[in-house]
Copies of this chain bind each other. A is one copy, B any other.
Amino acid sequence: MEKKEVKLLGLWSSPFVVRVIWALKLKGIEYEYIEEKDPMHNKSPLLLQSNPVMKKVPVLIHGGKPICESLHILEYIDEVWSDNRLLPEDPYEKAVVRFWAKFSDEKLGEIAIKILKSEGEELENEVKQLEEALDILEKEMKDKIKKFFGGETIGYLDLVLGWSGLWLEIIEELSCGKKISSDTHRYPTFNRWIEDVNDVNIIKENLPSKDQLSTDFLYIRNSALAYKAKN
């Protein structure tokens, strides 16, 4: 067990931060949480000093050294605190979970942001892309899933993709007014998996409130649409 001081620069509403919180709690690592209060307009000196290139949360600071990018932070945590492994140890299995983590962030994640910030025809196109990405994920989960996406116990992929339950639901409600990902006929395995993940104490005890998140994301949506209308 590493004894150096651990700090996490975070933002309560960020799905990239919540996966790091889950990992730290699952591993039983004590840490100081530091909320980045206004990362859009007024970045803190600590954030600018810790992540001068990307200027984004989360940043894990361990013994004074900053680690950036949420997927890299999860790998770092798993390498330094190696009890209760989050990633598989086998190199092939590890490459597979890294593939699905990248897919989750680059497909689901980026499409979700576009859906939040669009309307009309653009929104329709993005919704179609989301449905296709979810089709791919549903197929993979149906073929491979055990209780969790990585195996019988919660692991890396569950943490990486765990945001999709709450965050996607909110984004879909705000932007489309209809359920997409939570369609249990089209995505039965995905929805069973979300239930199982949300049933884990550390996950459900460390989720933001749906109301607060909806308010925050509605503000982001309205600002983005107003900006687009002006430009």
Q: Which residues of A contact B (CB under 8 A)?
A: 53-54, 62, 65, 67-69, 72-73, 75-76, 79-80, 91-92, 94-95, 98-99, 102-103, 136, 140
Contacts and interface: CB of A to CB of B under 8 A. Distances in A.
A72 B72 CA distance: 13
Nearest to A90: B79
A67 B92 contact: yes
Contact of A98 (B72, B103, B136): B72
A69 B102 contact: yes
Contact of A103 (B53, B67, B79): B53
B53 A92 contact: no
29 contacts: A53-B99, A53-B103, A53-B136, A53-B140, A54-B103, A62-B92, A65-B92, A67-B92, A67-B95, A68-B95, A68-B99, A69-B98, A69-B99, A69-B102, A72-B95, A72-B99, A72-B102, A73-B95, A75-B91, A75-B94, A75-B95, A75-B98, A76-B91, A76-B92, A76-B94, A76-B95, A79-B91, A79-B94, A80-B91
